Structure 1
Amino acid sequence: MTLEQDVQDTTLDELVEAAQVLAVPGERRILGLTGAPGAGKSTVAERLVAALGPDVAVLVPMDGFHLANEVLIDMGILDRKGAHDTFDDGGYARLLAILRAQRVDDPVVYAPRFRREIEESIGSSIPVRPSVPLVVTEGNYLLLEADAWPAARSCIDEVWFLAPDTDIRHSRLLRRHETHGKSPADAAFWAFGSDERNAQLIESTAGRADRIVRLR
C-alpha cells in the first residue's frame, strides 16, 4: 500500500477522544506523534495537550534532544542539523524509559526543551509530574529502525503519523524558516534541501505507525 492509501482523514476532536482513551488515571502511557518536517506535529501535539488539560497530559518533544550547535560544528555536520544523527537519540530513549516507569509516588522528572529562536536546547525546562497519566511526545524519527530510536519506540504505547498534503507541508516549512530569520532564498534552500531529504526518510517509516492521519 502507498502512504496515501493508508491515510485516515480525521478531525482534532477525534484525535483528542482517542488520546483520552490512553489517559488512564494512576497509570502512565506515552503517545507519539511523528511525520515529515512541516507535518504539523508540534501544533497538533500542543492542541491535544491543551484540550486534555494539564492534569491529564504533558508535552515532551523529541526536539529537546538536538545536539548543541558547538557539538555539530565539532562533528562537521552543522549544515545537516535536523537529520537523525544530529540528535542525542540515546538520551531521548533513556528519558522515555524513565517517564514510562514513573509512578505516582515518584519525584517530578524534568525534560529539555528546544528553543527555535536560539536554535538550542534548554535542559530541565519541562516538569513532568508523576500524577499526569499521559505523556505526549512528538518528533521526526520515532519510527526509525536505527541506533537508539527503536529503544525509544519501545517505550511509546501508540505512534500516530501525520500526513498532510505535500504542498501544505512545504508552505509551512517556508513560513517557519522565514519567521525565524532566514531569507526567502535560504528558507527554500533548507525546505527543499535538508528538510526534504529528511522527509523522504521519515515517510519511509510510516508503515510502522499505529495510525496514519490527515486532519480535515
Structure 2
Amino acid sequence: MIERDTKIVCDLVKSKLRTGTRTVVAIAGPPASGKSTLAQAVVRALNCERNESAPFAALLEMDGYHLDNRLLESRGLLARKGSPETFDAAGFAETVRRLEAADRETFHPKFDRQMDLSIANAVAISPDTPIVVVEGNYLLLKAEPWRSMKDRFSASVFVGPTMEVLQERLVQRWINHGLDAETALKKTLKNDLPNAELVLSASEEADILLKQDYDEYVQ
C-alpha cells in the first residue's frame, strides 16, 4: 500500500513540475497519519529516477520549526507541544515562500524526536534541486499564517486516517517512547487528538486525499 501511495504522489509531482522555478509539494495530515513515512518514500523514489550531482528532490519537515521546550515552558505551552501555537509558524511560512527562488544553497532545522528538540542548520537544500517536498500537520490549515503558504504549493496531498486509527497509533507512539499505557492514553486524549481533530476539520482541500488506514505506518 505504501508503494501504491508513493507512486500516486510521485505521478502527481511530475505532472505539476514547474519550469524556471522550484516545485514545492505539500504533504499534510494529522499527527501519526503516516505523512512523514510517505514524504520520505516520495523523496527517495524521485531521487532514484535521476542520477544528478544534486538531489532531484529534498525533504523539509515542519517539525524543525518547533519552538524550544524552555520557551514553551515559560509560556505555559509545554503540555500543548505540537499544537499550532508551539511552532514558529511565521518563520516557517517565510521559509516556504523563499523555497521557490532556488537561487542559493539554504540550510534548515530538523527535529530530533529522541532529544525532543530542533537542530539548527541540519538540512541543506541545493539550488540545483528542483523539487522540495514539505511535510507537516498544518500545511493546509485555513488560519493564518499557515494559509499564506497555499499558493506556494505546486501540488498538495492530505493523509487522513480515521480518528480510531490515529488514536491507536498515537498511544503506541508514546508507549514506544517509554510511557506506560495509561499515561500514553492521557497524553493522546489531552493534546494529540485535539490537534488531529483540528487538522482534519480545518484544512484546505488537497489535490489528493489518501486514507492510509493500514499497518505500514512507521513511528
Classify the TM-score, shorter chain.
Answer: 0.7 to 0.9
1:17 aligned partner:
11
Residues 55-94 of structure 1: pairs in structure 2 closer than 5 A: 55-94=55-94
Residues 1-216 of structure 1: pairs in structure 2 closer than 5 A: 11-24=5-18, 27-53=21-47, 55-102=55-102, 106-215=103-212
Partners of 1:71 and 1:208 in 2: CA distance: 33
- Which stretches in structure 2 are left out of the alignment for 5+ residues? 48-53, 215-219
Give how far 1:31 is off. 0.6
- Which stretches in structure 1 are left out of the alignment for 5+ residues? 1-9
Q: Do 2:142 and 2:203's aligned partners in 1 also have CA atoms closer than 8 Å?
A: no
The residue matched to 1:59 in structure 2 has which SS?
strand
Give how far 1:42 is off. 0.5
Report how many aligned residue pairs link the two structures. Answer: 204
- Alignment CA distance shift 1:42-1:140 (3 Å): same
Q: Which moved more, 1:34-43 or 1:49-58?
A: 49-58
**Greater than 3 Å deviation, 4+ residue runs:** 22-27
| Structural RMSD (CA) | 1.9
Partners of 1:180 and 1:134 in 2: CA distance: 33
**Which residue identity does 2:199 align to in structure 1?**
I
Q: Do 1:26 and 1:131's aligned partners in 2 also have CA atoms closer than 8 Å?
A: no
Q: Which moved more, 1:108-117 or 1:191-200?
A: 191-200
Give how far 1:91 is off. 0.6
- Alignment CA distance shift 1:143-1:24 (3 Å): closer
Give the alignment's TM-score, normalised by structure 1: 0.87
Give how far 1:207 is off. 4.7
Aligned identity (percent) is: 33
The residue matched to 1:118 in structure 2 has which SS?
coil
**Which residue identity does 2:64 align to in structure 1?**
G
**Which residue identity does 2:36 align to in structure 1?**
S
The residue matched to 1:11 in structure 2 has which SS?
helix
**Which residue identity does 1:50 align to in structure 2?**
R
Q: Do 2:141 and 2:203's aligned partners in 1 also have CA atoms closer than 8 Å?
A: no
Give the alignment's TM-score, normalised by structure 2: 0.86
Give how far 1:122 is off. 0.8
Give how far 1:157 is off. 1.9
- Alignment CA distance shift 1:132-1:94 (3 Å): same
The residue matched to 1:117 in structure 2 has which SS?
coil
The residue matched to 1:208 in structure 2 has which SS?
coil
Partners of 1:177 and 1:145 in 2: CA distance: 29
Partners of 1:194 and 1:26 in 2: CA distance: 42
Give how far 1:25 is off. 6.6
